């Protein structure tokens, strides 16, 4: 299978090349040249275990990899999950289900992709014997999931920038207490957007990028999107057959990565009816899907920090299909958006997406309500998925994080402090972090000093 950039330059690359590159050289994002039709495989996949299903799905895409190697890497990737189903579907009522995506090492859905990406990287390093340095910015969960995907792996150092004081203390502990010599958590004095901006600039410094073999692990990596497609199929197979008629996946979203994976799964044959873009108060995506206006605003810190994002990097992949797979149109929309901070679509086709948004007050209310009604505790991100429901559909809400990651908010809402053994262990460990100003020169100097060559 071949992969092309949404911006159309640079020809096509293999799966392995696309994963290694992250961003395409023309600034676009990789997608399969053509999406396969997998609808004929659904019957055979119905009863597979998670890792098996993941392997069967990925082998359609990783066509330049040895199948035995791929199988081994996939199996390895889901070994550290603590629930035997990996992604269990929990029924709250006849037409309301929760897909628990928080049983991985960092208790958030990003583990599904980043455990795999870590293993893919390690395999590539082994084959090329070229060391790499992974660089990324995080508003919380990406960084810890990336670190836990790569910690202790040979030939790779990982540098993660995060906004000091603006991620939850437990998220910070997950990044800073690993004790791994190849992990460098950088507490930056600025916002997430400042951190992300610095990372983008550093990747734009082609000499630096080449010399240190900088590699991104952010949400635009092709392998992340593909790994995330798998649990939509897996969730569908766990639904009772009589509930599969009109399924709406409700996805708490920020960077549009998780929900995009579901939508791609549908384009490849998953018989879902619709996908709900569920945002918090940082609702650029809500506005886009309800008015066709895509506009950057200031990030307002919320109770669901991993969704506090104003530029949804994976939107470009949807845009590509929206404009009829025409890279020139993608370039013109993205160019105007970059220059003006906004883009107004003349006639925006939301396809099968619906949208909702939630304030912090709404998040607290929902946590209390869901607990009262179903005896089930949702984290503040997942809460955004419970805003309103279409009674004609079976709702599957994606639970993106374990509630124990946000003990203050939960305790405030229901008077009970949620816990998780993996998080309790962190409290006794030593924090190692590097405080740096939000200045590109300081960050560059740090990387030059600590990179693997």
Q: Which residues bind ligand PLP (CB under 6 A)?
A: 108, 110, 141, 219, 252-258, 306-307, 381, 400-401
Q: Give the CA angle between residues 136, 316, 210 to the nearest 5°.
A: 40
Nearest to ligand PLP of 61, 112 (CB atom): 112
Alpha helix (H) residue ranges in 212-347: 222-238, 257-267, 284-291, 315-322, 327-340
329 is catalytic: no
Q: Say if CB 288 and CB 322 are below 8 A apart.
A: no
Query: Shortest distance, CB of residue 91 to ligand PLP, whole angstroms?
Result: 21
DSSP string, 82-125: SSTTSS-EEEEETTEEEEE---STTSBTHHHHHHHHHHHHHHHH
Q: Please name which of 392, 393, 423 lies closest in space to residue 405, comparing C-alpha atoms.
A: 423
Query: Shortest distance, CB of residue 282 to ligand PLP, whole angstroms?
Result: 11
Nearest to ligand PLP of 266, 381 (CB atom): 381
Q: Please name which of 71, 148, 161, 74 lies closest in space to residue 108, comparing C-alpha atoms.
A: 148
3-class secondary structure, 447: helix
Q: Please name which of 85, 24, 22, 23 lies closest in space to residue 53, comparing C-alpha atoms.
A: 85
Query: Shortest distance, CB of residue 192 to ligand PLP, whole angstroms?
Result: 11
Query: Shortest distance, CB of residue 108 to ligand PLP, whole angstroms?
Result: 4
Q: Say if CB 256 and CB 250 are below 8 A apart.
A: no
Q: Please name which of 137, 22, 159 lies closest in space to residue 449, comparing C-alpha atoms.
A: 159
Residues 6 or more apart whose CB falls under 8 angstroms from that of 424 comprise none
Q: Say if CB 400 and CB 382 are below 8 A apart.
A: yes
Nearest to ligand PLP of 8, 140 (CB atom): 140
Q: Say if CB 50 and CB 75 are below 8 A apart.
A: no
Cα distance between residue 307 and residue 158, in whole Å: 23
Query: Shortest distance, CB of residue 307 to ligand PLP, whole angstroms?
Result: 5
Query: Shortest distance, CB of residue 104 to ligand PLP, whole angstroms?
Result: 11
Query: Shortest distance, CB of residue 273 to ligand PLP, whole angstroms?
Result: 20
Of the listed 79, 110, 153, 241, which one is catalytic? Answer: 110
3-class secondary structure, 168: coil
| Mode of pairing for the β-strands spanning 12-13 and 89-93 | unpaired
Query: Shortest distance, CB of residue 219 to ligand PLP, whole angstroms?
Result: 5
Question: Quick one: 210 exposed, middle or buried, by C-beta within 10 A (0-12, 13-18, 19+)?
Answer: exposed
Nearest to ligand PLP of 16, 221 (CB atom): 221
Cα distance between residue 202 and residue 444, in whole Å: 7
DSSP string, 307-326: G--SS-TTHHHHHHHHTTS-
Which residues belong to the active site? 110
């Amino acid at each position: 299978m071949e992969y092309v950039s949404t911006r159309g330059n640079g020809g096509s690359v293999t799966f392995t090349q696309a994963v290694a590159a992250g961003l395409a050289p023309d600034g676009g994002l990789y997608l399969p040249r053509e999406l396969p039709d997998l609808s004929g495989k659904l019957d055979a996949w119905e009863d597979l275990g998670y890792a098996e299903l993941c392997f069967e799905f990925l082998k359609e895409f990783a066509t330049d990899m040895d199948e035995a190697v791929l199988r081994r890497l996939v199996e390895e990737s889901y070994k550290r999950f603590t629930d035997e189903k990996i992604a269990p579907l929990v029924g709250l009522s006849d037409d309301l289900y929760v897909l628990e995506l928080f049983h991985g090492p960092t208790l958030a859905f990003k583990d599904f992709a980043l455990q795999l990406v870590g293993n893919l990287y390690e395999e590539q390093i082994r084959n090329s014997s070229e060391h790499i340095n992974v660089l990324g910015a995080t508003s919380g969960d990406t960084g810890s999931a990336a670190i836990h995907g790569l910690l202790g792996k040979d030939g790779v150092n990982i540098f993660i920038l995060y906004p000091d004081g603006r991620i939850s203390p437990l998220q910070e502990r997950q990044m800073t207490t690993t004790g791994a010599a190849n992990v460098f958590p950088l507490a930056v004095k600025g916002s997430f957007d400042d951190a992300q901006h610095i990372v983008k600039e550093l990747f734009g410094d082609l000499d630096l990028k080449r010399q240190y073999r900088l590699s991104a692990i952010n949400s635009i990596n092709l392998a992340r999107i593909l790994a995330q497609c798998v649990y939509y199929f897996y969730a569908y197979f766990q639904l009772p057959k009589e509930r599969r008629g009109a399924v709406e996946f409700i996805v708490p979203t920020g960077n549009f990565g998780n929900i995009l994976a579901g939508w791609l799964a549908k384009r490849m044959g998953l018989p879902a009816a619709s996908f709900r873009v569920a945002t918090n108060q940082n609702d650029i995506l809500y506005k886009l899907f309800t008015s066709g206006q895509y506009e950057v605003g200031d990030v307002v810190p919320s109770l669901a920090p991993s969704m506090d994002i104003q530029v949804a990097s994976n939107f470009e992949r949807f845009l590509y299909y929206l404009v009829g797979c025409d890279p020139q149109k993608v370039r013109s929309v993205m160019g105007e958006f970059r220059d003006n901070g906004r883009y107004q679509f003349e006639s925006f086709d939301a396809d099968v997406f619906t949208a909702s948004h939630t304030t912090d007050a709404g998040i607290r209310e929902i946590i209390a309500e869901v607990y009262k009604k179903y005896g089930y505790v949702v984290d503040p991100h997942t809460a955004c998925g419970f805003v309103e429901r279409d009674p004609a559909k079976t709702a599957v809400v994606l639970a993106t994080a374990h509630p124990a990651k946000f003990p203050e908010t939960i305790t405030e809402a229901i008077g009970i402090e949620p816990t998780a053994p993996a998080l309790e262990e962190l409290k006794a460990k030593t924090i190692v972090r590097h405080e740096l100003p939000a200045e590109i020169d300081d960050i560059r100097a740090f990387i030059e000093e600590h990179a693997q060559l």
